[in-house]
Structure 1
Amino acid sequence: MAKTAPTRRDVLAASVAAGAISLLPVQVASAAADHSIRPFTVKVPQAVVDDLRRRIAATRWPTKELVGDRSQGIQLATIQELARYWATDYDFGRLEARLNALPQFMTEIDGVKIHFIHVKSRHENALPLIMTHGWPGSVIELLETVSPLTDPNAHGGTSDDAFHLVLPSLPGYGFSGEPTELGWDSGRIARAWAQLMDRLGYTRYVAQGGDVGADVTDVMGRQAPKGLLGIHVNLFLAAVGLKDHLPAKSEQERAALDAVNRFTTDGSAYFQELSTRPQTIGYSLLDSPVGLAAWMLDHDTDSYYKFSRAFVDKQPVGNLTRDNIVDNIMLYWLTGTGASAARWYWEFGRVVAAAHASGKAPPPVTVPVGFTTFPGELWAAPRSWVETVYPGLAYFNEVDRGGHFAAWEEPALFSAELRAAFRSLRSVH
């Protein structure tokens, strides 16, 4: 009889049986909480790579879009070139090598296994910093900031600018475990991050986040756990809910409001799907690598055209190279987290709905706040907007380049912003 191609589950099961690290994060109930911190190493079995190549080759392609832009979705030329590069030119050992070059760990918090990268600076006076990624990002989008933040002397800074860096993978993302119960919203994640920093022995630290990470970091500022000195965010999430109440007098304010309206009417398809039916989209994301890649590229207009340039025009913008983009997609594929990552949006939607129904304002942020506006963000928030939510704004700056994935696209500029934003907090005890 002819052999049938192994299923992806067969391939992964065989890899686990052979002693390789499980690539699908599975939660196992234990009798007692395990607070230990264990080293973690990524190992990608060849069978997984072979299965991925087979699936890319078997892709059923739609016909070409009927418009000359991305208004109908991901353009065929872009995704076909990405698929070709992924299957034939991409170095499948690259992701494993990049991650394993950094100290990775696993610990369990509130019943969920949390994967994190922890890089300590050689400078004793370094300030501990926990940074939270977003969707469709991962710790991959933060990797190029590790050296500038932990070793500033090599990047135009001084030892006084150094950070000890903690980069956790959100629950349900990457190599972190999937929550097996409801309630893992930003508030619960924020509490978990405070536990993580405490477990690492950090009694004073700062926090940063963009995209989903911006919401988690904002909530950390409102919870104000002991030891948190301040926060920095680079996405003004409140704009959607407050858009009818934000100032729109200056040209900059009107442009930002136009961007918010474009997002809510034409740019938020992914947000609507993830926040209402994460399980439905998850079936496609776990079955088709090309479907996963297309979904992850279809986030916002500025980022999409930068992604497209890397593949179609072979002209990457900043650090958004073909390899870096595929690394991020590869991480989602290996870990099978298309559906579990999406569930944060479902939780977020219910938190927002409950807040609106209660009519109660959230508690204020009681720690210093830094904010950087990047011009290619979903909406480039002016200072007047940011101050409506953070009236005690301690640091604000508008930079001349970078978009939604600021740390990924412009790691040097992003790192310089964090140094400036947190500089005044280093002497706080």
Structure 2
Amino acid sequence: MESWNTALPARLPVQPDRLKLYDTASQSVRHPGNLAEASLYVCGITPYDATHLGHANTYVTFDLLGRYWRACGLPVTYVQNVTDVDDPLLERATATGVDWRDLAADQTELFRSDMEALNVLAPDHFVGATETVDWVVESVEALVANGTAYAVPGEDGGPDGDIYFSIDAAEAATHWTLGSVGRLSAEDMAAVFPDRGGDPDRPGKRHPLDPLLWRVARPGEPTWDGRSLGTGRPGWHIECSAIARRLLPAPFTVQGGGSDLRFPHHEFSAAHATAADGQPLAQAFVHAGMVGLDGEKMSKSLGNLVLVSRLRSQGIEPVAIRTALLANHYRNDWEWTQDLLNRSVDRVARWRSALELEEPSDGSTLLAAAHRALSHDLDAPSALVEVDRWADEALARGTARRTRTPSETDRDRPDVRTAVSGLLGLNL
């Protein structure tokens, strides 16, 4: 699957790697590992209702992480999937009378254009679930072979052979235990599982929370050759597990996504990978908060989505949207408001006014200060305050534009535009 086109940031002076991130699995703020290189997997969209601000918040968050690592001089490998076949997508296609493939293609293209507008660096691998069915089949066959997956008889006259992952078998065979990644209580897991693709009441399952790995063919549904599994299609969690294991180290550095993916998605993606080869999926699991509107979580089911494309069509600059997103700490749940957007528009205008006063402007001090702020669990709000501080000082120095001739020293230092664009992704 084609990704989008975002120019890599200009090379910045190498900054020290002081990164501390909140790892959901260990419930601690820590460095994700002693790195010679970094690897990142961020779960992608199911392509309908793209791109709402909850999506944008997540992908801008992890774009910031990738930019931080690059500023440390680390090579970064970034993988993102697209769940371009799944029950919610098929249901939306049926409800709207659109072929599911056309809906997925249209919404994925819209997502690409929004990511490019928001200056989110393109992943090295942008992979659709429909492109990786063979990888999933291989993974599920391995789990069946080692006893951590099993077939369930059909129900209500349906076909036999749906394959499920066995929580009990995996806990007995590996270091993974239920809840060790998502860190939800048993009560909370039971409560959210049905709303997040689970089927706790399916007859024949060994544990109510056992997740689906392979769904055998039903009339009217898209299917693929599953070899020994039979004709069918992949479950959700195994998709990301199979893609990550094929394209990233085991374990890779950071698994990212929204906080609603803690369970069941990241819980079981990690479980599937560990059950297959004994290795953890990732060194750290990092989750972005939810974005609300008018006192409620922004969600497809509530119909209260604010779309990036709609804001853009209203003439809102993407840099102002990105600034508004970065004004909230990534782990917090927060609300989108018109006031937040207005303040971000004004903020960008003030930064640009400061840039008009002196060209080129030495951005070394600002770069170091903003990078230091990001070291503390990607504290983007504090990094933006550093840009504000620079702008206040520049504006206080005078109101007339001053142009100076770059010195030899200047050539080794980024100007402010380059520093802010490279590290924070804000094109001023």
The TM-score bracket by the shorter chain reads under 0.3
TM-score, length of structure 2 as denominator length: 0.27
Larger radius of gyration between Structure 1 and Structure 2: 2
